[in-house]
């Protein structure tokens, strides 16, 4: 099981823009039916568009903007996002939430003696762990953190085993 995020933000933006245009057209149509002066005059819009030429700057800029927006929306629809649920090995089709996965690996790294803080970044095939320590000689701390995170990965048993990269940040020696 590998769940991907929904593409609700681009869909919401397009829906709101189309709703605003539809409301504007509907209100103008009702105002015309009632004999009132409409917010947007059809005659003014038609005359302005009729005066434009294909070689003018405005149609070129509008076309470029619409092409870029369309390309961004197409890429948002086609390209997969980061998985929200990562698959794990087992008898059942099961998975673990990305946030829970990251926090349990971060807790494993932070639980190592000598680590004052840990941050974990998940990539598709790699787990990057950055730990801070107050030790002036962090010899062997990276290996201990790697062993703790690898042990936690053994317990989680992800379907695709990521490699673990550890970076240790220690205070500078003053001697």
pLDDT above 70 for 124: yes
* Per-residue tokens: 2: 């590998």
Domain ranges (residues) in the chain: 8-78, 85-169
Helix H or strand E encompassing 49: helix 42-51
- The CATH code belonging to domain 85-169 is 3.30.70.1350
Average pLDDT (84-109) is: 83
pLDDT above 80 for 116: yes
pLDDT above 90 for 5: no
* Pairwise CA distance, residues 155 & 150, whole Å: 9
More reliable by pLDDT, 49 or 85: 49
Helix (H, G, I), strand (E, B) or coil at 170: coil
Alpha-carbon distance values, 26 to 15, 22, 35, 78 (Å): 16, 6, 14, 33
- Report if pTM > 0.75: no
Angle, helices 141-156 vs 98-110, to 10°: value is 140
* Per-residue tokens: 62: 């509008």
| Residues 6-39 pLDDT 10s | 677 788 888 899 999 999 999 999 998 999 998 8
């Amino acid at each position: 099981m590998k769940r991907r995020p929904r593409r609700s933000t681009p869909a919401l933006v397009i829906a709101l823009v189309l709703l605003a245009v539809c409301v504007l057209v509907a209100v103008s149509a009702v105002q015309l039916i009632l004999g009132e002066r409409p917010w947007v005059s059809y005659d003014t819009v038609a005359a302005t568009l009729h005066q434009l030429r294909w070689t003018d700057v405005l149609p070129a800029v509008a076309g470029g903007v619409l092409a870029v927006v369309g390309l961004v929306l197409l890429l948002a629809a086609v390209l997969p996002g980061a998985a929200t649920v990562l698959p794990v090995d087992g008898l059942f089709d099961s998975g673990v939430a990305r946030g829970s996965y990251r926090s349990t690996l971060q807790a494993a790294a932070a639980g190592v003696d000598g680590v004052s803080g840990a941050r974990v970044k998940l990539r598709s095939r790699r787990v990057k762990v950055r730990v801070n320590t107050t030790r002036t000689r962090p010899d062997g701390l990276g290996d201990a953190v790697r062993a703790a995170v690898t042990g936690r990965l053994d317990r989680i048993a992800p379907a695709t085993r990521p490699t673990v990269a550890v970076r240790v940040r220690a205070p500078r020696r003053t001697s």
